[in-house]
């Protein structure tokens, strides 16, 4: 529990540091996201390579599935052996996403909360003079309140006020779906990605806008890294 509290305090300190530079917590979240992405670059490189190699060997995996379709134990044995021979980790693509989830949850708790149990950011905002509180939670001209959820804005202020938040939710869903669409792969995997993206729309609807801003920014950076590396991997294999 103490470790989790430390993680939240580090994230809040990071926000404060970048706020001192930018004077805007929205831009502070974006800069914090860039730093986190840079720290995760080695893992992102491994993730993209693993996903690329998994797609490259899919024809051979299908051959094994067809050959041992009546012997599941043998199929598992041969598939594992094939992975080892080709130095492919079938779970390598999951690690960066799993590592991002604690940051996502911690940021959710830092920015979110309730009047009875406010997060660190809300506690800080409440300590400011009343005339400064609204300005502290604003993201430039885009979002009036980074701590508000799209659902709460819709319920309290109506459709027009919720539009920029709804746009952010849509971008959040696309940020889950698009990276999978841009990877070479089977239609079944892409259908799963679509279902996941639709489910995540609900998560986005009830999440603080600042958390969505973090995830969308992280995804944009991740897609850029992914496409640059895919281009390199394809070119490198063709040259080989």
- Average pLDDT estimate for 154-176: 91
> Residues of the chain with pLDDT > 70: what percent?
88
Note the pLDDT tens digit of each residue in 35-83: 988 988 887 887 777 777 777 777 888 888 888 878 788 888 888 888 8
**Residue 230: which residues within 8 A CB-CB, separation 6 or more?**
48, 52, 182, 183
**Is the pTM of the predicted complex or chain greater than 0.85?**
no
In the predicted structure, residue 139 carries a pLDDT above the cut 60: yes
Q: How far is CA 36 from the centre of its chain?
A: 11
pLDDT, position 197: 79
- The total of other beta-carbon atoms located within 10 Å of residue 114's CB is 8
Q: Is pLDDT of 214 > 60? A: yes
pLDDT at residue 115 tops 80: no
Specify the pLDDT at position 152. 92
Q: Can you read off the two tokens belonging to residue 152? A: 């709460």
pLDDT at 186 over 60: no
pLDDT tier for residue 91 given thresholds of 50, 70 and 90:
low
């Amino acid at each position: 529990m103490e470790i989790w509290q430390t993680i939240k305090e580090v994230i809040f300190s990071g926000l404060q540091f970048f706020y001192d530079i930018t004077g805007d917590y929205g831009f502070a979240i974006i800069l914090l996201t860039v730093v986190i992405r840079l720290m995760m670059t080695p893992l992102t490189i491994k993730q993209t390579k693993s996903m690329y190699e998994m797609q490259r060997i899919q024809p051979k995996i299908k051959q094994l599935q067809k050959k041992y379709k009546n012997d599941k134990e043998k199929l598992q044995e041969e598939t594992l052996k094939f992975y080892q021979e080709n130095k492919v980790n079938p779970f390598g693509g999951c690690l960066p996403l799993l590592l991002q989830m604690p940051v996502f949850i911690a940021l959710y708790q830092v920015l979110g909360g309730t009047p009875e149990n406010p997060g660190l950011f809300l506690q800080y905002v409440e300590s400011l003079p009343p005339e400064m509180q609204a300005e502290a939670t604003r993201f430039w001209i885009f979002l009036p309140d980074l701590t508000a959820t799209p659902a709460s804005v819709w319920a309290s202020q109506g459709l027009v006020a919720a539009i920029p938040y709804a746009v952010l939710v849509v971008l959040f869903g696309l940020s889950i779906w698009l990276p999978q669409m841009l990877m070479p792969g089977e239609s079944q995997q892409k259908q799963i990605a679509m279902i996941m993206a639709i489910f995540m729309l609900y998560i986005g609807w009830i999440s603080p806008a600042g958390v969505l801003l973090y995830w969308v920014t992280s995804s944009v950076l991740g897609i850029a890294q992914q496409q640059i590396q895919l281009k390199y991997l394809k070119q490198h294999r063709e040259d080989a």
